[in-house]
Amino acid sequence: MPYPRESGDLVGEIFFAQAFSFKYSPRPGTPAASLTDQVPDPVKSERLAQLQQLLARQQREFNDACVGRRLPVLLEKPGRHPGQLIGRSPYLQSVHLDADEHWIGEIVPVRISGAGQNSLSGSLAA
C-alpha cells in the first residue's frame, strides 16, 4: 500500500536535501497510542520504504546539484585516509577533502567536485 498521498505530495513539494524518517510506534501516555484503528505494521513498513526511496532520490539530486559549487565547510575531524578531513556543509552534508589537520574547527571555502548518496567531495577553494 503506498504512503498517504498527502505525505508524498508534501515531500515532493518541499524537496528535502536530507531527512530522517521513521514509522510510527505508539508511545504510552500519548493520545495516538490508545487509538483503536492503528495502521498494521506491514503497511507502515511498506509506506516507510516508499517514502525513503523518494527522500533518497531527492538527496541524491540535491548532492549532484552541488557539484561545481563553492560551499563554506566546517572542518570537523580527520577522515579515514591520510591527509583527508571531513566537514559539514551548510546543508549538513558530509564533505571529504584533502587538507592539513590545522584546518579542523575552521570554516573554509570548498569547491565541490563529486557527489555520492550521503556525502560530497571537494578541495580547498582559492
Mean pLDDT by 10 residues, the chain (126 residues): 71 87 88 88 92 93 97 97 97 96 98 95 94
| Structural domains for the chain | 5-65 (no CATH), 68-124 (2.40.50.140)
Give the closest residue to 39 by CA, choosing from 88, 68, 72, 2.
2
Please report the pLDDT score of residue 3 as a whole number. Answer: 57
Please report the pLDDT score of residue 1 as a whole number. Answer: 52
> Could you tell me if 58 and 16 are in contact, meaning their C-beta atoms sit under 8 angstroms apart?
yes
